[in-house]
A and B are shown apart, each in its own frame.
Chain A
Amino acid sequence: MSVLRHAARVAWKDLRIELRSKEIVYTMAFFGALIVVVYSFAFPVKPDLVRAAVPGMLWVAIAFAGTVGLGRAFDRERENDTMRALLLAPIPRLAVFLGKAAAISLLVLLVALVCAPLLALLLDVDLFAMPAELLLLLVLGAIGFANVGSVFAATLLKVRSRDVLLPVILYPILIPLFVAGTSATEAMIAVKPDLDKLWYWIGFLGIYDAVFLVLSMWVFEALVIE
């Protein structure tokens, strides 16, 4: 229980700083929206084409905007060496990982909630036919992205070329998450929604999150200590 209490403290600290500066959320949301707008110009608005392309557009926008936010969230811990302060605190180091990942999950979810309606509006596709399922999918996607992303972003904190390395290392590991996300979204917005396929991929995403949460918790301390 002490792990969760301290994780909540770390997450609240991150969110409080973000509420004050709004730097990450504005950057992520603007970047995500920009990607969606570029897609809307790049693709002709033909129903069949759009229906096939929108799932990929949504998850690519989440991935790119999420990476921008992830990097900045950990850069903040570098500025005054505050990551050192967190790791020095007499709390389970796991709590630092869980707190950071929870705060980043929320930010990624927020960006997804900006990109999805914008895509629906600009490309005229009914992304919200199954709002509860879409929300569940985005929540699971945000959690998975933040889990894996936090481990790598924390590991690369002291590496000079971390901005380049982070996506290079992160995206291959996130491929199953993107496959699940796009496949589930595709099943959701099909002319005749394929519920079996949708729940299969939502289940897959749940398992992916659980597996990588356990793995991340296991390796975090070993990776952040020099």
Chain B
Amino acid sequence: MGALDKVEIKKLTKRYGTERALGGVNLELAAGKMTALLGHNGAGKTTLLGIVSTLVRATDGTVTYVSSGAPVEGEHVRRQIGMLAHSSLCYAELSAVENLALTAGLYEVDGSPEAITAMLDRVGLEPKARDRAARTYSRGMLQRLALARALLTKPSLVLLDEPFTGLDRGGALALGEQLGILRDAGAIVVVVTHDLEAIAGRTDHVAILRRGQLVFEERGSYSYEQLKDVYHRFAN
């Protein structure tokens, strides 16, 4: 089983008790495209990302993952998912090298010292910090480690939940650049963010959620001004 070609989301609904978090969302995420998933807090973005990442169960509707023209599921799908969230998903007591070695072991990918060094070079984590416990890292360093962790497994579905939070402008731009590289390499990239500036000019697909409903969806590149305009028109 190889990279994912697309993810088809059909009539996706999620209820928490009587509260409806998503109400019949339809969306198609394609390989080599970056989708910006926008909306106010509580619009259902994180829930949608949770369902696509297989960590939240949908109440109704389906998410179909397609690889080489055929649907795949379970561990085959999870092998293709790279996740970058506000939290680093890394162990504070382990060093960057140990965290990546653990990830490589769980995903059964190359976890050799050379591969780990190359990945840490790619994300720009300074060499002298690599053997220190991650709890001593600054927010920016932790986010670089989190990105290295997500990229090490060569994911074809990259899910990002507020990845720019706490990063300075330089860090946000560097992260945006790495996402562009991933997208150009053929990955499906989905970004949930409020930082429109960081994703401006990089997205190929914009989807806006409001109270669990998909209220806007269009393909194409958006400048910061255009993103701001559609956000204010549809998210409010």
Q: Which residues of A contact B (CB under 8 A)?
A: 6, 9, 13, 16-17, 20-21, 76, 79-82, 84-92, 225-226
Contact = CB atoms under 8 A, between A and B. Distances in A.
Contacts of B81: 88
20 contacts: A9-B102, A13-B102, A16-B94, A17-B93, A79-B92, A80-B87, A80-B89, A80-B90, A81-B85, A81-B89, A84-B83, A84-B87, A85-B89, A88-B54, A88-B55, A90-B75, A90-B76, A90-B79, A225-B57, A226-B56
Contacts of B56: 225-226
Given A84-B55, A91-B106, 19 more contacts: A9-B102, A9-B105, A13-B102, A17-B91, A76-B91, A79-B92, A80-B92, A81-B89, A82-B89, A82-B90, A85-B149, A88-B53, A89-B78, A89-B103, A90-B78, A92-B75, A225-B57, A226-B55, A226-B56
B156 interface: no
B61 interface: no
Nearest to B83: A88
A85 B76 CA distance: 16
Contacts of A16: 94, 98
A86 B99 CA distance: 12
B50 interface: yes
Contacts of B53: 88
Nearest to B106: A89
Contacts of A225: 54-57
Give me the 4 closest cross-chain CB pairs, A-B, nearest first: A90-B79, A81-B87, A85-B89, A89-B106
A84 B89 contact: yes
Given A17-B91, A17-B94, A80-B87, A226 B102 contact: no
Interface in B47-86: 50, 53-57, 75-76, 78-79, 81, 83, 85
A9 B90 contact: no
B216 interface: no
Interface residues of B, number: 30
Contacts of B98: 16
Interface of B: 50, 53-57, 75-76, 78-79, 81, 83, 85, 87-94, 98, 102-103, 105-108, 133, 149
B75 A20 contact: no
B50 to A, nearest CB: 7
Contacts of A84: 55, 83, 85, 87, 89
Contacts of B55: 84, 87-88, 225-226
A54 to B, nearest CB: 37
A92 to B, nearest CB: 7
Nearest to B75: A90
Nearest to B47: A226
A111 B168 CA distance: 46
Nearest to A78: B87
Given A225-B55, A226-B55, A89 B107 contact: yes
Contacts of B92: 79-80
B161 to A, nearest CB: 10
B74 to A, nearest CB: 8
A69 to B, nearest CB: 16
A92 B78 CA distance: 10
A6 B76 CA distance: 16
A92 B102 CA distance: 16
A91 B78 CA distance: 8
Given A90-B78, A225-B55, A225-B56, A82 B91 contact: yes
Contacts of B93: 17, 20-21
B104 to A, nearest CB: 11
Contacts of B76: 90
Contacts of A88: 53-55, 78, 81, 83, 89
Nearest to B77: A90
Given A88-B55, A225-B55, A226-B55, A80 B106 contact: no
Most buried by B among A21, A81, A90: A90
A215 B83 CA distance: 31
Nearest to A226: B56
B98 to A, nearest CB: 8
A91 B89 contact: no
A76 B92 CA distance: 9
